[in-house]
A and B are shown apart, each in its own frame.
Chain A
Amino acid sequence: MIPRAILERKVINHMSKQGLKFEGSNVEEGTLRFVGDGSTYVVKMLDETDGKPELISAALQSAFWAVKGERPYILVPKSMASMDELMAIRLHGIGLLLYGSHEIEELPPIVKHMRGDKKEDGSKVSVEHDSILHMLERIERLERLIHKMNEVDALVSRLERLEVLYGEISNKLLALEGARPLHIKTTVLDIPSKSNNPGSEIELPSFMKDNPWLDILAGKG
């Protein structure tokens, strides 16, 4: 687990690169505060030992800060939540800072704007934002479908490898059958058809050897 002090340093470095100034930390809340662009940024930190309940709690608290006009972020281990869950959090105006073994990755908040909403400077928000949100959702669905297709591709490749393996094992089994003493029975006897293996030396049961019915019956249907 990455120690909290190192996490804090990584967040401060990341936010500083965005032009924000570090204001201080609240150990009890587990938050770091930054200022810049005329806004206050609050980063709620979650450790790898935290789980879904802590994530939900952090999201609720962050939503409360967002209502107060602050810009909330949650620092989350990459493995804690799925992309769907993270998307749901972002749609509530909360940004995410994902961390793993490498650098911090920022997923900015997605702000839903309604028709008729006004920006801070008084100009109207374009309804294109709605379309963008729809597009994002559709892209997400497409990503999921592509993921599933990749899984199917992987299964097909696996099946093809198994087919090759099956052929190899069948050939080996045929070779073994030829050498097997008659009194030993296998659980699965592989008797080649006459037409497929004309040169085979497999020991067929006596009632099958040179049986004219094999050709008559094989021609049925």
Chain B
Amino acid sequence: MVEMYDEDYKKRYVFGADYGTSEFKYGPITQGERPLAVENRGYFPEKSVLSQIMGVDREVVVGKDVTLFLESGAELATRLVYPMREGIIAKDDAKAWKVVKELTRYALEEFKPKGWGFNGFYVVAALSAVAPRYMYEMFFDMFDSMAKDAGLVHSATIIPQPLAVAIAHKKTSCVVVESGHGNTQFAPISRAPIRGAVIALNRGGSDANAIMAEILKDAGYGDLVAEETLVRKVKESLGLLPADLNSAITFAKNNPDAVRAVYAVPGTRLKIDLAENSWARFLVGEYVFNPNHEIFQSYFRRGMPRPRDTKVGDVVFYGMLDMAEAITTAVEKCPVELQPLLYSQILLSGGNFSWKVPEKLKNVCVDSAMKIKRMMAEKGIENVEVTMASEPQYSVWRGCIVYGYAVPASYSWSWEKMEGWMNFYK
């Protein structure tokens, strides 16, 4: 009887928390199809200002309240903290941990039911596939304190984001490619994450922004490149993904009018026209998938940072590995028998894969799935099926909800398997 109640209770109070690089998506199972989202950031105001405005003595402000402080200007960069920009929080980054804790508390408090019968949520947190063990430990410590202080957490578990994506898309054997702001993860999955086979690239949406900024400078808009959000919007509007970069550049030089595009900044008089530099639109998408084309060397020489190999914990983040190479490297770490199955189910997730194909450029542009397929074919790997995650911004949260709903409440956390529930309810 007790077990039945535990199980029934768990299913009512499953709570998904996706700690994405730019957004924190959260909500309980009752949210239905979509979670709520706030920017994954926190603001550390001067205490006097904070107490005046908020009437409370909180060290960090998160959620919609952050907007109240954004006009502060000069000190913004030091006071506004994005804890998950690279998917990993350093052990001693106290400010980042404070933001994560406050965001989590903010999210759980928002859905805490009033009245009798609530003993805390069953929280499923999703972290980067390359998150080191100490992050798991610190997250569990955080959930423990929330269970003790406010009864917000009954039990918690942590899963890698790619596993959540695979679950949300109902794929039990696949390679999930999750591309975020700062990095891209390649995670083979076969009924569970194959942890030893995860590959990470030190390249993400921010690198596409970097080359977009260089192109804007060349086109005479150097004064705008300091505004990161504007550069990102220009990238999303004007950036293109070529099927083959050389062919696309040749096409652009022969058909300048077909490639030329203007971006009108909403709500302003500003219009960004790349004019004779419009051919460079193809560089933006190509750079995300393969930065090894010789044309990018000129950008590195003039000062654009070259993506470097870095090591965080035990994980190497490769800088210049192209995406097809990364997929094959990850898959080849798996059992040979499994490899064909994994190649046949490649799942792309993340805003970094949202490349439009304009009608008049459909002979030279492709979407991300086709690009990967072509790159894999160039490496001699056939029978590749690539699919784009639908509503990729919600995939991780949805996977968390399914995971929390299905994994039995009696299954205790195992550090060996890195799965199960860590119980905090006494």
Contact = CB atoms under 8 A, between A and B. Distances in A.
Interface of A: 163, 170, 182, 185-191, 193, 205-208, 210-218, 220-221
Interface in B393-408: 398-399, 401-403, 405-408
Which 10 A/B pairs are nearest by Cβ-Cβ distance? A221-B411, A217-B406, A207-B398, A189-B30, A213-B167, A214-B406, A218-B406, A217-B407, A211-B170, A220-B411
Interface string B26-50: 0001111100000000000000000
Contacts of B29: 189, 191
A205 B172 contact: no
Interface in B167-185: 167-170, 172
A178 to B, nearest CB: 15
B33 A212 contact: no
A40 B402 CA distance: 86
B11 interface: yes
A185 B32 contact: yes
10 contacts: A188-B30, A190-B12, A206-B33, A207-B169, A207-B399, A208-B401, A211-B402, A212-B172, A217-B402, A218-B406
Contacts of A216: 172, 191, 406
B419 A220 contact: yes
B420 A220 contact: yes
B113 interface: yes
Given A189-B29, A206-B33, A212 B170 contact: yes
Nearest to B419: A220
A211 B167 CA distance: 8
Interface in B361-406: 398-399, 401-403, 405-406
A216 B32 CA distance: 22
B410 interface: yes
Contacts, number: 78
Contacts of A187: 30, 113
Given A207-B402, A213-B402, A221 B410 contact: yes
Specify the main secondary structure of chain A where it touches its partner.
loop
Contact of A185 (B7, B31, B406): B31
Contacts of B411: 220-221
B11 A191 contact: yes
A220 B418 CA distance: 12
Given A187-B113, A190-B12, A213-B172, A221 B408 contact: yes
Contacts of B420: 220-221
Contacts of A220: 407-408, 411, 419-420
A188 B11 CA distance: 10
In this complex, which of B7, B166, B408, B410 has the most chain A Cβ atoms within 10 angstroms of its Cβ?
B408
Contacts of B408: 218, 220-221
Contacts of A215: 406
A217 B168 contact: no
Given A205-B398, A221-B420, A189 B406 contact: no
A216 B172 CA distance: 9
Contacts of B412: 221
Nearest to A188: B12
Contacts of B167: 211, 213, 217
B174 to A, nearest CB: 12
B176 to A, nearest CB: 13
Contacts of A212: 170, 172
Nearest to B115: A187
Contacts of B170: 207, 210-213
A208 B1 CA distance: 26
Given A189-B12, A191-B11, 10 more contacts: A190-B8, A205-B32, A206-B33, A211-B167, A211-B170, A213-B172, A213-B403, A214-B406, A216-B406, A218-B406
A213 B168 CA distance: 9
In this complex, which of A190, A193, A218, A221 has the most chain B Cβ atoms within 10 angstroms of its Cβ?
A221
